[in-house]
Amino acid sequence: MTEGSTATGQPAAGAADPHEAHLTRVVAIRHGETVWNAEMRMQGQLDTALSERGRWQAGRAAESLAGEGIEAIFASDLERAFDTAEALGRRLGLPVTPDTGLRERHFGVFQGSTYAEIDARWPEQAKRWRHHDPDFGADGGETLREFSARAVGTCTRIAAGQAGRSIAIVTHGGVLDCLYRAAAGIALGAPRSWELGNATINRLLYTPRGFTLVGWSDTAHLEGETLDDGSEGDPALKVGRR
């Protein structure tokens, strides 16, 4: 009989579950709203700040997660994500570890333009972006395939290094989209049917086999609608309800 287990192979009472040592609980959070989100303007890796509403959302998310047992916080170093993470860090008394691998996708020439301007100025490129072409990257930017490898690889590295713990990852809509696809086994080119609203809370588990989904797009803490601005090429929509 294995030490710490019963004759049925189950962990003995009071013994640690051996699987727990290899499991990381991940709370993934999109940054709060920015003025550019509300304007439907492509941010990419341009460094934009939270709006007043975004700061409120960050505070609400922090309060909501106060009892989650989070032990470490990791965030994109871009201001909108890092400031959202710092709101959580202040509430929990934890430092925030920045990681450039958690940055949003680099959208090259699209960055700084509204989605309508992108459609008008670069119609062929915009069509490939909106159809989730894995091998498309706007001039000067990352392809979706390159971005997904970087985003999921970074989340995997972080989660694998925190085995047995509960962590928060504060990042961007594009990173969360890639993470959802990886966890659910959905192709990069498939249409999106899941929400990526600002300051929404998403829960996953990580084991050496990869990520699995636990819960997605929790908006209860926001007391109403939050914006999914369509930065992944899909139509903008409101998340939650009043």
pLDDT digits (tens, 9 = 90+) for 30-58: 999 999 999 999 999 999 999 999 999 99
Q: Which of 86, 104, 142, 195 is catalytic?
A: 104
Domains detected in the chain:
20-239 (3.40.50.1240)
Q: What is the pLDDT of residue 237?
A: 77
Q: What is the pLDDT, as a whole number, of residue 22?
A: 84
Residue 9: the pLDDT is 45
Is 31 annotated as catalytic? yes
Q: Strand 226-228 and strand 201-207: pairing?
A: unpaired
Alpha-carbon distance 119 to 144, whole Å? Answer: 18
The values of phi and psi at residue 116, to 5°, are: -65, -40
How many CB atoms sit inside 10 A of residue 194's CB? 16
In this prediction, residue 238 carries a pLDDT of 79
Q: Is 134 left (phi over 0), alpha (psi -120 to 50) or beta?
A: alpha
Residue pair 158/165 in contact by the 8 Å Cβ criterion: no
The predicted structure's pLDDT at residue 15:
45
Q: What is the mean pLDDT of each run of 10 residues along the chain (242 residues)?
A: 43 53 94 97 98 98 97 98 98 98 98 98 97 98 98 98 98 98 98 96 98 97 88 84 48
pLDDT of residue 12: 53
Instruction: Retrieve residue 57's tokens.
Output: 């959302």
Gap between the Cα atoms of 35 and 20, Å rounded: 41
**Spatial distance between the Cα atoms of 122 and 112, rounded to a whole number of angstroms:** 14
- How confident is the model over 119-151, as pLDDT tens digits? 999 999 999 999 999 999 999 999 999 999 999
**What pLDDT score does 19 carry?**
57
Catalytic annotation on 132?
no
> Taking Cα atoms as reference points, which of 202, 227, 221, 232 lies closest to residue 25?
202
DSSP state string for 135-184: T---TTS--HHHHHHHHHHHHHHHHHTTTTSEEEEEE-HHHHHHHHHHHH
Residue of 31, 106, 132, 221 with catalytic role: 31
